Amino acid sequence: AAASYRIAGSTVLRASAGIGIVEPSLLQNYSRESYAIGNPALRPEKTTGYEAGVIQEWFARRLETQVSAFANTFQDLIVYVYPSWLNIQASRARGIEFSSRMKIARWLTASGGYTRMWTRITLSNTPDSVFYGVGQEIARQPGNSGTLSVTLTPRRWTLQAGAILVGERQDPDPYVFGVTRNRGYQNVYATGSFRIDKHLQPFLRASNLLNQTYSEVLGYPALSRSIYGGLRLEW
């Protein structure tokens, strides 16, 4: 459920709340590999989340800024602990988000965002674990993350350049003894597309332009500098 209220011509208050579940996958339940043994007793993940924030418009709505705070609680998070999966009993995530979007010209827009998040495991069935014990961070959830982008839309073109910024985070790798942190990274990208008509739109995307070596998940290196192209059909 979500609601918003405009308290002035350029200020909006908003709030939301939600609950949900995620079922374990077939792999997590029934895998029979030596390094990944399924656990049929896994319970669904359960989450409850709240968020509240303020949207402010400036300079005749050419600039929009948002700030919001959020708090999420999790029950029975599913995590991999070699050689199987188990449920962590309880954890939480709290944080603050900032974002802005500015229309510099009719065809030029700049945007950015930053998230500061704090996570903790609050109740665990392996309380003394280095990775999943009480007081540890939730795996693969960075404390700092952000985005930057500039978008140009002259006539039929859509061109964008930007970066995805992800900070250091806890990410245990059972195959490399003692490694508990995954370093941060920056994925700089550029995209472009051209609308031939209302049905056809060829596009091109270049990813990891700085050719950084990093792992979104520890032990699984991301692709090096890559270029993708294709044709989008719409009707």
Residues 69-102 pLDDT 10s? 999 999 998 988 888 998 988 999 999 999 999 9
pLDDT at 174 exceeding the cut of 70 = no
Q: CB under 8 Å to 82, separation ≥6 — which residues?
A: 35, 174
Three-state DSSP class for residue 63: strand
Three-state DSSP class for residue 26: helix
Q: Which two tokens stand for residue 27?
A: 């792999």
At 177, the pLDDT band (50, 70, 90 cuts) reads low
CA separation for the pair 188, 160 (Å, rounded): 11
Specify the range with the lowest mean pLDDT, choosing from 49-53, 121-125, 148-152, 162-166: 121-125
Q: Is the pTM of this model over 0.85?
A: yes
CA separation for the pair 234, 202 (Å, rounded): 11
What's the residue count for the chain? 235
Residues 180-215 pLDDT 10s? 789 999 999 999 999 999 999 999 999 999 999 999
